[in-house]
Amino acid sequence: MLAKRSPFLLILPLIFYSSSVSSSELLSEDINSLFSDLQIYSKARELLIKNEGRDLLTLLPSTLDLSSLVKFVPKSQFFSEPSISVTNFITLKPLNNLLHPSNLGVLFAYKNGILELREVIGTLLYKLDLGYEAKLLATTNSYDDIKFAVISGKSHLQIFSVIIDKPSKPLTIEEMGLQSTKVLISIYKESEIELEEELTSLMFYIRSGKKYWITGDVNGGLTFMSLNGVKEIHPLLNLGPVLALDRFGPQIIVSTTKATGVLNMNNYELQNPCFVGGSSMTLDALNMSSIVHVSYENEVHVLDTRTVSAEQFMCKEIKKISRQAERIISTKDSIILWNLGTATFLHPTKYEYINEIEICKKKESGNMSTFRNAAGTVFIVFHCSNEAYVYEYVQSKNSSSMNDFSSVRYIVVILIVLALGYWQYTKARKPKVSKEKKNN
């Protein structure tokens, strides 16, 4: 049947691919125009500061290297009276342009027990009084089932559900909180669990379609719970308190005070771990997220999770850095270290200093959360005490390796080549009918 089809049908994916590239180029032109405006604005601000001493015109510092604006775009900033305890991104339901096109929100939990849901551009959508300070916060990654989990105290876990819809009438102050008039939002507590161990980390995880909340504790244990909070598995790693959790697909990366490695889901042990611990780690987008960076004092430890299946040594190298990092994240273009209100950018493979930006006005300890969408764009929220800043990190097109087949364009090209090859093969094998037989 394939041999009888027109080759035009087989190259349709190539046509769609070309149109998507054209759209991407148009978007790139708009972004470049925005970057040009930002550069002019930053120069004008610098002159104003020198002449009149004004320092509150914009969150961008006057000492900023203008070339970094090409990738690091501010989305919003705000200052709060209570100090911020923890933040995290949450996927919002798309409602026909009622919300920001990214369909992305940020949860801010404050030390006075207030929790706010905001768009990435800073618009307040919902305000809720939890009644306690949130210590850890995790969210689901799909708008089909929007939930978030909060840990307070030492071992108290609460799970909340979020419902977002179009308003049918003007909205007012609701019983549970204050919400925006843009959309109809309901947040309600779904379940509440008191665990035995003091919890140190929290993560949302999906495996084979099943969704979990995973916690780490001071005793070196992990707890797997269903989405509604039912405790299922509690393995002990016996490698010190669990400091950080991360995931890529079905892989779970665990960092304790003694070791970092990939969790074997058959025996719940770390496979051939690197014996170094750190309070912050990140998956690298440069090599299909197989590389893990762990920050430890003045060092960045580089681990390759692809060597686990081959039973090779996972810890590859240790890079000395100029300053300690409270948090570390990685993109295709750089490694970003966060320390005392300053973001330092390092080369993604050489770990050499590129640039730094003073985000917060106060030199205080803080934290940051990240979100990477399907297009590869990274959103970052920084917070120090009562300051919060949301940035969009636009990654360059040519930063990914040509061997990175996670990109859809290479998959489409391969499928087209295979389809054309198979069509030529079936065409060549088709039996030829002579003119005499055809006339008979």
Q: Which of 110, 243, 105 is nearest to 183 (CA)?
A: 105
CA distance 65 to 343: 13
Residue ranges of E strands in 11-112: 72-79, 84-91, 104-110
Q: What is the pLDDT of residue 408?
A: 46
Chain Cα centroid distance, residue 39: 27
Would you state the structure tokens that stand for residue 304, as one six-digit string? 């390759």
Q: What is the pLDDT of residue 202?
A: 95
Residue spans per domain, the chain: 1-58+414-430, 68-279+302-325+366-396
In sequence order, what are the residues at sequence separation of 6 or more whose Cβ sits closer than 8 angstroms to the Cβ of residue 259? 239, 240, 270, 273, 274, 275, 276, 277
Q: Give Cβ neighbours of residue 321 (< 8 Å, ≥ 6 apart).
A: 298, 299, 300, 337, 346, 351
Ranges of residues in the chain whose predicted pLDDT is under 70? 1-70, 167-181, 278-279, 283-289, 306-314, 322-323, 395-413, 429-440
- Residue 11: partners with Cβ closer than 8 Å, 6 or more residues away: 416, 420
> Could you tell me how many helices (H) and strands (E) the chain has, helices first?
4, 29
The secondary element (H helix, E strand) that includes residue 329 is: strand 327-330
d(Cα 356, Cα 63) in Å, to the nearest integer? 10
- Count of Cβ atoms closer than 10 Å to residue 31 Cβ: 14
**Cα 187 from Cα 129, distance rounded (Å):** 11
- Reduce the DSSP state of residue 3 to 3 states and report it: helix
What sections of 85-194 are H helices per DSSP? none
Cβ–Cβ < 8 Å for 197, 219: yes
> For the residues of 151-188, what is the DSSP string, one character each?
EETTTEEEEEEEEEE--SS-----SSEEE-SSSEEEEE
Cβ-proximal residues to 324 (8 Å cutoff; 6+ apart), any chain: 295, 297, 298, 339
Give the per-residue pLDDT at 407.
43
Amino acid at 232: E
Residue pair 332/348 in contact (Cβ under 8 Å)? The answer is yes
- Phi and psi (nearest 5°) for 108? -115, 120
Distance of alpha carbon 220 from alpha carbon 237, whole angstroms = 5
* Local structure of residue 284 (DSSP, 8 states): -
pLDDT score, position 349: 78
Residue 361, SS3 per DSSP:
coil
Q: What is the pLDDT of residue 432?
A: 56
In three-state secondary structure terms, 212 is strand
Q: Both ends of the chain: CA-CA distance in Å?
A: 25
Residues ≥6 apart with Cβ < 8 Å to 168: 184
pLDDT recorded at residue 102: 77
Per-residue model confidence (pLDDT) at position 212: 94
Instruction: Copy the structure tokens of residue 114.
Output: 């207030």
- Burial pattern 191-200, b for ≥16 Cβ within 10 A else e, equals bebebebebb
pLDDT at 138 (0 to 100) = 95
92 and 164 Cβ atoms separated by less than 8 Å: yes
Strand locations in 53-155, DSSP E? Answer: 72-79, 84-91, 104-110, 114-119, 124-129, 134-139, 147-152
CATH number of 68-279+302-325+366-396: 2.130.10.10
Task: Measure the CA–CA gap between 304 and 316, rounded to whole angstroms.
Answer: 7
